[in-house]
Amino acid sequence: MKTKLLGLAAAFAMTLGAASAEAKTKACFVYVGPVGDHGWTYQHDQGRLVVEKELGDDVETAYVENVAEGPDAERAIERLARDGCNIIFTTSFGYMEATLKVAKKFKDVKFEHATGYKRADNVSTYNAKFHEGRYIIGQIAAKTSKSGIAGYIVSFPIPEVVSGINAFMLGAQSINPDFKVKVVWVNSWYDPGKEADAAKVLFSQGADIITQHTDSTAPLQIAAEKGAMGFGQASDMIAFAPKTQMTAIVDDWSGYYVSRVKAVMDGTWKSEDTWGGIDSGMVGMAPMTNMPDDVAKMAMETLEKIKSHELNPFTGPITKQDGTVVGEAGKPLDDGAVLGMNWYVKGIDDKLPQ
C-alpha cells in the first residue's frame, strides 16, 4: 500500500515536472548571496539572464541563492546535478571543495568554479583580472586628487582584494610617486551603513577620492554629499551618483557564460582555466565622466594598452611594503604570484593581517 502511494506521488510529480525539459540544455547557478545584493551575486545573475535571452528556447536555467559556503554547498550543487543540469556554475571561492566532490560523482555534468584554483576533467575555473581596472582607476585618482590621498574600503583580505589594492596603488604611483592610500576593512561584502561610515571616516582623514572592494553604492553616495569623487564597483553605479562616479569596474560574466553554455551544446566544452581581463570583456569599464578631458584621454590610453597586453599592472620590479623587491625589470609577475598575493606594495598606509 505504502509503496503504491509513493509510486503514485512520484508519477504525479513526473508528469508535472519533467514534461517541458526535453532536449534543452540546462545551465544552473549556485549563488553565495541573494540576487538582490546589487553586487557580486547580482552580476552573476545578470549573466544568467543574458544566457536565457541569447540562447532562447535551447536553454533552460535554474539557480539556488543564499547558499552558505560550508555545509549546504555540496548538497545544493549535487541537487542541481541530479536535477539534470548539464553545466553548473558555482560562483564563490568557498565552493571549491564541494564542487570537486560533486564533480567526481557526476562525470557527465560540466562544472565551472569561479575564483578557485583546483580543476578536474569536468571542472573548469574562471575569474576576472579586476586588478586591471583598478590600475586604471588608480591613475585617474592620482591625476584628479588634490590632497593626494585616496580612501579604499575593503571587505576581506583575500588575494583578489589585496592585488586590487596593489594595482590601484601602482597605477596611482605611476602618476604621483608620493600618492597615499588609506585602507579600511569593514569585514562585510555589503553593509551599506558600515560602508557609509567608513567613507565618512576616510574623507575626514583627508581623502578626497574613494574606491571600494565592497558591493554597495553607499560610499559613492557619501562622496556625492561631501563633494568628493569616487568609482563604482561591480556594476555601473552612475545612477546613484551622477556627478561623482568617474568610472566603474563592471563585472561582466555574460559573454563567458554564453560561450561556455554554447560549448556544452556543441560538445566542444573542455576543462580549462580562464582568467579574463579587459581584453575578454569580463572586466568592463563604465564610461569615463566627471573628469577633465586629458585625464579621460590618459585613462582610455591605459585601457587600450592593457587590452592589447602592452601594459601589465604587475610589471617588475615592484617594491613591497617591507622594502624587498619582486619581479624582474620589464617582466610581469607570474599568475601564481598575483593569484595568491598577500603583501602590499610600498606606500600603502595599512598592515596586512598575516
Partner 1 sequence: MGALEAVILTIITASTPLLLAAIGELVVERSGVLNLGVEGMMVMGAVCGFAVSYSTGSPYLGVLAAIAAGVFMSLLFGFLTLTLVANQVATGLALTLLGLGLSGLIGESFVGLPGVKLTALAIPGLSQIPFIGPILFGQDILVYASFALVAAVSYVMFKTRTGLIIRAIGDNHTSAHALGYGVIPVRYACVMFGGACAGLSGGYLSLAYTPQWIENMTGGRGWIALALVVFSTWLPKRVAIGAYLFGAVWIMGLYVQAAGVGIPSQFLSSLPYLVTIVALVIISGNKTLSRVNTPACIGQSFVPDR
Partner 2 sequence: MKLILEKRAEHSQKMAVLSPLIAIALTVLVGGIIFAVRGLNPFYALYIYFIDPVMSLWSIEQLVVKATPLILIGVGLAICFTANVWNIGAEGQLTMGAVFGGLLPVMFPEFQSPLVMPLMLLLGVIGGMAYAAIPALLKNRFGANEILTSLMLVYVAGFILDWLVRGPWRDPMGFNFPKTVTFDGWQLLPTFGGTIHMGAVLAVVAVVVLAVVMGRTLKGFEILVLGNAPRAGAFAGFSRTKIVLFSFLLSGGLAGLAGIGEVMSTVGQLQPTISPGYGFTAIIVAFLGRLNPIGVLFAGLMLGISYLGGEAAQVTLGMSDKIAKVFQGILLFFILACDSMILYRIRLITGAKPQAAPAE
Contacts with partner 2 by CB under 8 A lie at: 6, 9-10, 12-13, 16-17, 28, 34-35, 62-66, 68-72, 74-76, 78-80, 82-83, 93-94, 97, 117, 156-159, 162, 187, 336, 339-342, 353-354
C-alpha cell at 301: 590610453
Alpha carbon separation from 35 to 63, 110, 205, 210, 270 (Å, rounded): 10, 23, 34, 26, 28
Single out the residue of 333, 327, 303 nearest to residue 171, CA to CA. 303
Specify the stretch interacting with partner 1 by CB under 8 A; choose among 159-167, 217-225, 244-252, 278-286. Answer: 217-225
**Cα–Cα dist 345/211, whole Å:** 17
Q: The cell 551599506 sits on which residue? A: 192
Helices 71-82 and 96-105, axial angle in degrees (round to 10): 30
Q: Are 41 and 32 in contact (CB under 8 A)?
A: yes
Nearer to partner 1, 174 or 188 (CB): 188
Query: In Å, what is the CA distance from 9 to each residue of 6, 17, 21, 22, 146?
Result: 5, 12, 19, 21, 70
124 lines the binding site for partner 1 (CB under 8 A): no
CA–CA separation, 145 and 209 (whole Å): 6
Q: How many residues does the chain have?
A: 354
Question: Residue 9 binds which entry of partner 2, partner 1, none, with Cβ cut-offs from 5 to 8 Å by kind?
Answer: partner 2
> Measured from the CB of residue 10, what is the shortest distance to partner 2 in angstroms?
6
Residues 29-48: x/- map of binding to partner 1 (CB under 8 A)? ----xxxxxxx--x------
Pick between residue 69 and residue 350 the one whose CB is nearest to partner 2: 69
Q: Which is nearer to partner 2, 113 or 180 (CB)?
A: 113
Task: Choose from partner 1, partner 2, none: what does 120 bind? Cβ within 5-8 Å by kind.
Answer: none
Q: Does 333 bind partner 1 (CB under 8 A)?
A: no
223 binds partner 1 (CB under 8 A): no
| Residue 351 within binding range of partner 1, rule CB under 8 A | yes
Which positions lie near partner 1, rule CB under 8 A? Answer: 33-39, 42, 151, 182-188, 190-198, 200-202, 204-205, 216-218, 221, 235, 239-240, 349-351, 353
